[in-house]
Amino acid sequence: MKAVGEYALVRIDETTTTSGIQIKNDGVGICVSCPSMPDLENKQILFSTKEEFVQHENVYVMHTDYILAVLE
């Protein structure tokens, strides 16, 4: 799957605690596709959680305006 135009695909990984509780890392994910900013691909990013995004499996589709920072 690839993003189109000014959109990015961000994979959200779930973390499992030692007690077995699964939690999503809200606001943090791995950019897997971003044609308008290819330097973001495969990097961990911080994004705004104030918007609702289209989700397909564990991937969010978001406009690049909601990407706030690259976490290196």
SS (H, E, C) 8-44: EEEECCEEECCCCCEEECCCEEEEEECCCCHHHCCCE
Number of domains in the chain: 1
CB atoms within 10 A of CB 6: 13
For the chain, the average pLDDT equals 90
> Which structural domain, as residue segments, surrounds residue 30?
7-71
DSSP three-state, residue 66 = helix
Percent of residues, the chain, with pLDDT higher than 90: 71
Mind listing the pLDDT tens digit for each residue in 22-41? 666 689 999 999 999 999 99
Flag whether 28 is in a domain. yes
Whether the pLDDT of residue 61 is over 80: the answer is yes
**32 within domain boundaries:** yes
Q: How big is the chain by its Cα radius of gyration, in Å?
A: 12
Length of the chain: 72
Indicate whether 66 belongs to any domain: yes
Is residue 1, in this structure, part of any structural domain at all? no
pLDDT at position 26: 81
Q: Please give the pLDDT value at position 17.
A: 67
16 domain residue, yes or no? yes
